Structure 1
Amino acid sequence: MAELLLAIGRDRDIQAFELLFKYYAPRVKAYLARLERDNQAAEELMQETMIAVWNKSAQFETARGNVSTWIFTIARNLRIDAYRKNRRPDFDPDDPAFVPDPVPSADSLVQELQEAERLRGAMETLPEQQLQLLRLAFFSERTHSDIADALNIPIGTVKSRIRLAFSKLRAALEERS
């Protein structure tokens, strides 16, 4: 069989390929059918395998292995490629990840700006210590223990000051509404 494959690679010998095809095609198809459990897919992969054998026959080296190992490795690799391709999800343009967010209406934008301005005004009424803790916790996204370490105060103090700041903010926002 190695002589046939070498003749295909060297001379593009069609008769040698026919002999190789008649011998290996049924074996490759049976191998793929056992793995795929789909006769049509096994047939297609066998055809792709034999086309690859024709195209890559010049790359075969007898010193690196025998013909059947080389051909079945091609078949296995093509099956793996087909499996990966089929497992990839199709692109869905209606997927929420690809659909832009709806443009908010003008009145909702104005309302958000007014609420943000109310919050800013309420935050200005807080003592500097509480305001600093809120900025670190919510704008810098630092943990309570990081804040305690950075300011050299106990973690309980950080938590109680943040709770107190929320209470004052809630009261200030209720007054402004």
Structure 2
Amino acid sequence: MFSLVRDFGFQILAVSSVAFVSLVSGRSEILSLDYLPPAHAAQVDDLMPGARVIDGGIRFLEIEAGEGPSICEGDKVEAIYTGKLLDGTVFNRKAGQFHTYRFEVGADPREVIMGWELSLPLMQKGGRYSIAIPSQFAYREKGRSGQVPPFSTVIFEIEILNVE
């Protein structure tokens, strides 16, 4: 779930099929929003059975456990990955010894999409993961280079090769 922490001096309770918001007087509460549209969620559930829902409605599935500490801000990560649309169309791939992707977690400007940033703390070196990312945390209304339509949920299969 997408998390925001705020202090408010009043109470609000709202429930819908997409969002749950709870603010309690005088305390900080976590606000969670699931940005994955219900139709996309049904497809993702079929493609990734057993995936858990994390921040923003991102679906996270550990395929193979990694070892060592979890990835954190400032870490330099080397990974291979495949990015796909919900229909299975591959739109990006970095795979193989000479085609890895290297980036710094939490860099400014960001070197990976927000969906990766929110998922990386659940990953470890040597692990393999599948994540389904709502458009809000991927390529939003612009899409990506004619390969990802606007407002698309995308799925990444990621293997973490190294963390420094």
**TM-score clears 0.5:** no
TM category, shorter? under 0.3
Higher relative contact order (CA 8 A, sep 6+): 2
Higher helix proportion: 1
